[in-house]
Amino acid sequence: MRKLVLSGIIAASVAFAGTAMAADGAAIFKAKCSPCHGPAGEGTAMAPAIQGNDFFKKSSVDEIAKVVKNGREGAAKKYKQFAIGMPAQKTMSDDDIKAVVGYEKELANKK
């Protein structure tokens, strides 16, 4: 009995660690990116669409991750029609950035 309870606790903590570690790209997108890029990545008056965007379709995850991490503002801006730039996501971990970029690639291919 004691052994059974113990293995139950171990199994539960392993399962918990698993979910805590897997970065959820969709949840990160919703929390940190959708206010500017739109809930489904359709774009807003503030930022370009991700759906159908060739940059996301054609660039590697690393290339896109670099823009997310370092931002793209001032003279480096590609879309002059938007007043603001892409803010650098300095507090995001590399794993979270990779997860959200993976999700954005999915959104881009929807259109």
Query: What does the alpha-carbon distance between residue 103 and residue 98 come to, in Å, rounded to a whole number?
Result: 9
User: Which residues make Cβ contacts (< 8 Å) with residue 32, sequence separation at least 6?
Assistant: 89, 92, 100
Does 33 help bind ligand HEC (rule: CB under 6 A)?
A: yes
Among the listed ranges 9-17, 19-27, 42-50, the one in contact with ligand HEC (CB under 6 A) is 42-50
Within 10 A of 38 (CB to CB), how many other CB atoms are there? 19
Nearest distance from residue 21's CB to ligand HEC, in Å? Answer: 19
Candidates 24, 40, 42, 55; binder of ligand HEC (CB under 6 A) is 55
Candidates 40, 82, 88, 102; binder of ligand HEC (CB under 6 A) is 82
Does 77 help bind ligand HEC (rule: CB under 6 A)?
A: yes
